[in-house]
Amino acid sequence: MPRYRTIRIPDDLVKSIQEIIDDHKELGYRSHSEFIIDAVRRRVEEFINFSQNSSK
């Protein structure tokens, strides 16, 4: 089972994320935490791909 860390996110950003989740149920996010985990994962993957392509 994964371990989790607590991070601090500005309230206005969380409110914006919650609005997106509420207005776009088709995205499938059940919580702002799910959204944030997915967003961070995608950004990390993007960085890794960029780094791998830059080193070639």
Q: pLDDT digit string (tens) for 10-25?
A: 999 999 999 999 999 9
| Residue among 11, 20, 18, 22 nearest 32 (CA) | 18
Instruction: Supply the pLDDT for residue 54.
Output: 84
Instruction: Supply the pLDDT for residue 29.
Output: 98
Q: Is residue 37 part of a domain?
A: yes
Q: Within the chain, which residues score under 50 in pLDDT? A: none
Domain that holds residue 16: 11-54
Instruction: Supply the pLDDT for residue 56.
Output: 67
| Residue among 38, 36, 31 nearest 10 (CA) | 36
Q: Is residue 40 part of a domain?
A: yes
Q: Is residue 41 part of a domain?
A: yes
Q: Is residue 1 part of a domain?
A: no
Q: Is residue 50 part of a domain?
A: yes
Q: Is residue 39 part of a domain?
A: yes
Domain count along the chain: 1
Threshold 0.85, pTM exceeds: no
